[in-house]
Amino acid sequence: MSDTGALSVTWECVSGDAPARGRNRFELLIESTESGEPVDGLSLSMVPFMPAMGHGSSTVPTIAEVGSGKYDVDDVVLAMPGVWELRTTISGDEPDYAAPRVEID
């Protein structure tokens, strides 16, 4: 759920069965919580962050819109085991923010 509650943000790891230590690739699915419809045309930026360690990632992920509410996020480098936040800033007509969590072994 995004900060405003207007969007539902879920992720799927496409670089493997599960997120792993190292370089990952995700696909974000963004849908309207009100209508359930996928939301296209958003401008996204992501900062992977590890709150327990207080540090981020060495790279800035690249994000490309796929369509049908899907956004391909590549170069998500998660260097340490533990919980990471994929802190995503959503720009557009209605700015928003979401930070789905990912756990790495």
Partner 1 sequence: MGCTLAALLDADWASAQACCAGASAITPARLELHEQFLVGLQLRAAWMLGSYDANRDFRNLPSGAAQWDFEQDAFGSLRLLRRGQLGLLVPVLESWRKTSTTGSEFGGGLGDVNVNARYDFIYANELSYAPGVALLLGVTVPTGRAPEAAEQPLGSDATGIGAFQISAGLGLERSFGDFLVSGAGIFSKRTSREVRGVESELGAALSGMLGLAYTIREGTSAAIFGTYMYEGNASVEGREIPNTAREQLRLAAAASFSILDEWRIQGGPFVDPPANGFGRNQIASLGGSFTVIRSFL
Residues near partner 1 (CB under 8 A) are 15-16, 20-24, 47, 49, 51-60, 77, 79-83, 85, 87, 103, 105
Residue 105: CB minimum distance to partner 1, A: 5
DSSP characters over 37-79: -B--S-EEEEEEEETTTTEE-SSPPEEEEEETTEEEEEEEEE-
Residue 46: CB minimum distance to partner 1, A: 10
Q: Which is nearer to partner 1, 81 or 92 (CB)?
A: 81
